[in-house]
Amino acid sequence: MHEERTLILVKPDGVSQGHIGEVITRLERKGYRIEALKVTNATRAQLDQHYEDKVDKPFYPEMVKYMQEGPIVAIIAAGISVVSVFRRMAGKTNVSEADFGTIRGDFGREWGDGIIRNVVHSSDSVEHAEREIAIWFELKNVCF
Ligand code: GDP
Ligand code: MG
């Protein structure tokens, strides 16, 4: 067991619906440390890097539209097993299947346009977390 970091994004629906505080509160309530936090607007270049495994999917243009609907909040959270534990706190990708008690289950909903707006992103591995942190915080003009 050792300290690790994860990258959390409060997505545009989470920001516009007023859930920034709730995400922060849940992190703090669980005892995780917030190492960095900022409000920003996702650029196309950042999204192409962040979602490199999705750029060729037919729904990728919808994802870009969604992620650029408004500002997002990027958070670096740290603690023991924070990557896997925050994934469980976030809940399932599909908001209508996400368990109540999870962020997506409590605050996410479908809007009838086919876009999966699910309130938060969280890294799925320590390796991906470090890669994603570089995209949103540390490295400018980086090429992956
Ligand atoms: P996550 O790790 O739970 O966020 O899920 P994935 O890594 O599988 O997908 C990343 C994000 O892409 C999801 O959170 C959704 O916003 C979006 N996404 C994934 N699959 C679909 C899909 O089939 N249709 C649409 N419109 N968006 C999707
Ligand atoms: Mg993912």
> Given 2, 19, 121, 128, which residue is catalytic?
121
- Calculate the average pLDDT of the chain: 96
Amino acid 142: pLDDT: 54
Pair 122, 128: CB distance under 8 Å: no
118 labeled part of a ligand binding site: yes
* Ligand 2 geometric centre to CA of 64 (Å): 15
Tell me which residues have their CB within 5 A of the ion that is ligand 2: 124
pLDDT digits (tens, 9 = 90+) for 25-65: 999 999 999 999 999 999 999 999 999 999 999 999 999 99
User: Please, what are the domains in the chain?
Assistant: 3-9+33-137 (3.30.70.141)
DSSP string, 44-82: HHHHHHHTTTTTTSTTHHHHHHHHTSS-EEEEEEEEETH
C-alpha to C-alpha distance for 132 and 92, rounded to whole angstroms? 20
Amino acid 143: pLDDT: 55
Report the atom number in ligand 1 closest to the C-alpha of 121. 4
pLDDT digits (tens, 9 = 90+) for 113-141: 999 999 999 999 999 999 999 999 976 55
Report the atom number in ligand 1 closest to the C-alpha of 93. 3
- Average pLDDT value for residue range 90-99: 98
Helix (H, G, I), strand (E, B) or coil at 9: strand
Q: Which amino acid is at 59?
A: F
